[in-house]
């Protein structure tokens, strides 16, 4: 039994194919973009860009290329965490 993040699991499988099996996930890690508070025009541009690449599948392609596995299913909201700046 090994406890690890998603990147370590990938390395284990590369070094020892068919030896380790994922039983369950402890947590999902999400990445995000940060901008300065109050920069409404820039925040709107960043939000529009992210919405566009999520909708057309480009985000999933980029994530797969650089992370080595599909992106997690993005939630519509997380308690106490705003997804867009106002």
Alpha carbon distance 32, 34 (integer Å): 7
Partners of 81 in the β-ladder: 78
Residue 1, pLDDT score = 66
pLDDT at 21: 78
Q: Tell if the pTM clears 0.75, that is, is over it.
A: no
pLDDT category at 62 given cuts 50, 70, 90 is: very high
pLDDT of residue 84: 67
Q: Where are the domains of the chain?
A: 1-30, 36-86
Q: Is 78 in a helix, a strand, or coil?
A: strand
Model confidence at 49, pLDDT cuts 50, 70, 90, reads very high
Other CB atoms within a 10 A radius of the CB of residue 41 amount to 7
């Amino acid at each position: 039994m090994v406890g690890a993040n998603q990147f370590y699991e990938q390395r284990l499988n590369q070094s020892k194919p068919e030896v380790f099996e994922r039983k369950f996930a402890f947590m999902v890690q999400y990445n995000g973009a940060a901008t300065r508070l109050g920069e409404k025009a820039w925040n709107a541009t960043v939000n529009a860009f992210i919405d566009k690449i999520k909708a057309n599948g480009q985000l999933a392609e980029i994530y797969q290329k650089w992370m080595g596995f599909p992106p997690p299913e993005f939630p519509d909201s997380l308690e106490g965490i705003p997804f867009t700046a106002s």
